[in-house]
Amino acid sequence: MTDDNNMHRVCVSIATETVEQGVAVARSVGSLADVIEIRLDALQRVEVVPFITQLAKPLLFTNRPIWEGGNFAGEEQARLASLLEAAGRGASYVDLELKAPDSSHQALLEVIDSSSCRLILSWHNFQDTPAQAELVGRLAMIQDKGAHIAKIVTMAHDFHDVLRVLSLQEEAARMDIPLIAFCMGRAGVISRLATVELGGYMTYCAVSEREATAPGQLSVAVLRRIEGLMGADREGC
């Protein structure tokens, strides 16, 4: 399932309390983003359609539950409903957790099968980075569930953790599945930059440092500035 047209590199995560705020913020960073992630779990009132009708960028919808580090505390059926709506109304991506019920996986896949939307199955570890065997096992589980794209994000405490996660790209290439993989935390910042240079499908950043949705997340302005410096260095070689 290799993606030969991998042009979506930088995803800006937006977590606002209202739809109006979310649309305005998305427009303000639109020129810097390849993809906009709408964190539905941050909204006081969950709505999907206004984002799809008012924003031109490819959209990724996430409704992260509390048990996976998000803010949604309701029933699974209600959480899933918003993702199903997004998939059916033109979202480019929806994100669902590996640990979500099998019924949620199947329901999304059924809707996505008749749309252009793609399913990202994600797994997060906010405490540490497991051994390589466990990371590879999680990747295999994600593929077995039918994901179009895998996402594995862990907390890094040192460079060994970062290298284990980044090396998953080799395994993903062998398995033929696009992979989003990087680390959270101060030690993991470098992985957010390196991942797309090493074959990663996409990296995530924030609107600004104070609006980060995960530890160690860079602002999109900083990320793009570093990319520009790296490009200039390449041209001078």
Please identify every residue annotated as catalytic: 124, 151
User: Using an 8 Å Cβ cutoff, are 181 and 160 in contact?
Assistant: no
Of 72, 119, 112, which is closest to residue 94 (Cα–Cα)? 119
CA distance 64 to 71: 6
* Bridge partners for 40 per DSSP: none
Is the Cα torsion angle 101, 137, 71, 43 positive or negative in sign? negative
Q: Which residues contact 115 (CB under 8 A, 6 or more apart)?
A: 87, 88, 90
